[in-house]
Amino acid sequence: MSGLTHINANGEAHMVDVGDKDETTRMAVAEGYVRMRPETLDLIRKGNAKKGDVIATARLAGIMAAKQTANLIPLCHPLMLSKVAVDISADESLPGLRVQAMAKLTGRTGVEMEALTAASVACLTIYDMAKAADREMEIGGIRLLQKSGGRSGDYVHGQEQQG
């Protein structure tokens, strides 16, 4: 089972020991989107959703989710994040909202799962807050865009891995 760091020689799941790794600055960016009817996007942009400010609430939910990743994903290490940012922007071509989340720290393990969790929960929050207006919304495109730092080197989606 080479390449699966959370699986031991017996095929059992375990938490990776990162104690011998060097502390480095690590950063990851993930994205996702919520596709919706144009009228729903307009409602959100105007701030007229029944539950309140959809974008501000989704941004906060994403930040909070990144901080809770180790409680949600069984084999993730609890991390001391130094920065989490969630940016949400309207995209008329979807139509809908695009979410981009960044997580950063100086530590012994990466922050990919924190960035992915932030993007996912921000998208889920958008859905929750606007579902009264549009139950046909679609969440998609959750993926890692880039990461830097650590033993495995840098990664940019769509490019061959370096390092």
Catalytic residue numbers? 128
> Exposed e or buried b for every residue in 63-91, given b needs 16+ CB within 10 A?
bbbbbebbeeeeebbebebeebbbebeee
CA quadruple 38, 30, 101, 127: dihedral, nearest 10: 40
Cα separation, 49 vs 28, whole angstroms: 31
Cα separation, 57 vs 62, whole angstroms: 9
The Cβ-side half-sphere exposure at 35, using a 13 Å CA radius, reads 8
Cα separation, 124 vs 128, whole angstroms: 6
- Assess contact for 15 and 77: CB atoms under 8 A: yes
- Assess contact for 119 and 31: CB atoms under 8 A: yes
